[in-house]
Amino acid sequence: MNDQCRKSHFGNCSDIRAEGYCLFHHPDKNHKQSQLFYAQLVDEEDSDYVEDDDQLVLAGRADWAGYVFPPPTGKPANAGLTASSRLFANTVFSREVDLRRARFDGQVDFSGARFEDRVDFTGSTFSGHVSFARSVFKGGAFINHCRFASRADFSGAAFRWDANFSFSEFVGPARFAGTLFAADASFIATIFARYAEFTGGEFRGRLDFTHTVLRQGVGICDAGGEVSRIHRPDARREAFRIQKDSLQANGRTADADEMYVQEMRSRRQAETHRTPGSLSIRLSHLLETMLVDWTCKYATSWQRLLVTAVVLIFVFAGIYHSGGMLSTAGIYDMHREDEPVTTFGAMLYLSAQTFSVLGYGDLYPTGWLKYIAGLQSLVGGFTMALFVVIFARRWARE
């Protein structure tokens, strides 16, 4: 026996020591040590086991930083407790839980657990399946810098305060279906090696997926119903952005374009939400909506842009036609300048060549219609540029 545990800096060692470690921090427990570990784990705390509810209530602070949780061994020495793999299922943690740099060597089940205070899993590793399904986190949840080597299930969980998963790695599938994030949720630089499912989740605070790695995609929102469960405009923008990146990486460019449109619309809403009284923001958003959203869905739909171009050509042709009939201004043919041209076909021809910025010059406007023609040439040039952007963007992705 050694007097000093190699992890004594955590300050939560057991009196039982072997091979340079205490019982709690020993990395390679045998069967007997594992049974003793789970028995002492509960005895060490101020706990109250409620047999009628099949529930373990830990009234004291759970100071388990650096602990090594062995694989399931069956029932520990305490009568009435569930198997060690389900030791924490439906458990109520009344005070703070400190599991920093803990190691879970087998599957672990926190399903239905209730954390009344702050819980900290920073730097912990999970080698087997882990379930936090239907768990409730009433304090801050720090699950950052963790490594989940197998499936991780947080479906139906409720995070009542901030949830931080930043810099964690999910090697297996990660399931957050139907999870409630009542405050901010952070997944900064988190790695999802398999598919990450967030469908049916609700996000009420800020959402951050900055530098997140999605190797097999993510399901977090669609263009319709799911977005209603993301309350903040900036969170909706982030959700659409990460969904767009995932679809793009998997070759689903059409769906990625739709996510991009929703991202841009959410950006406008977020900016309006931050500065509700700003007239300049509202005017810029109005122009953006008219010029690049309605016309071509942020340079993602050449079909809509083509329809817009045709409509504009007819609208300007109508202006030329009515202007020549209702005022002294008119459209003249350079070969017959004695009287104005009045046929709608000629107006349509002039409108088309002005819109396309060809400018043959055989027909020309006079009076105030010259300014209308100048405006149309600007609109037409902008529209032609959008066509170039759309097709260049499409070819670049292929």
Q: Identify the pLDDT of residue 77.
A: 40
Residue pair 137/158 in contact by the 8 Å Cβ criterion? yes
- CA-to-CA distance for 70 and 103, rounded, in angstroms? 8
Query: In this structure, is the dihedral angle defined by the CA atoms of residues 118, 123, 125 and 130, taken in order, positive or negative?
Result: positive
Q: Which strand (E) or helix (H) includes residue 207?
A: strand 207-208
Residues 6+ apart with CB under 8 A from 398: none
Q: Which amino acid is at 207?
A: L
C-alpha distances (whole Å) from 199 to each of 115, 129, 240 are 24, 21, 13
CATH 1.10.357.20, domain 302-397, yes or no: no
Per-residue pLDDT, 81:
35
Position 44 scores a pLDDT of 55
Cα angle 33, 39, 45 (rounded to 5 degrees) comes to: 130
Q: What pLDDT shows up at residue 275? A: 87
Q: Distance between the two ends of the chain, CA-based, in angstroms?
A: 66
Q: Give every CB contact of residue 278 below 8 A, 6+ residues apart in sequence.
A: none
Question: For position 398, what pLDDT does the model report?
Answer: 61
Which residues of the chain are under the pLDDT cut of 70?
1-3, 42-54, 73-86, 222-228, 325-328, 337-338, 397-398
- Position 176 scores a pLDDT of 96
Q: Which residues of 203-220 are buried (b: 16+ CB within 10 A; e: fewer)?
A: bbbebbbeebebeebbbb
Strand order in the sheet with 202-203: 47-50, 55-58, 92-93, 114-115, 136-137, 158-159, 180-181, 202-203
Q: Say if CB 232 and CB 210 are below 8 A apart.
A: no
Residue that has been written with the tokens 């509700």 in this structure: 276
351 token code pair: 């409108």
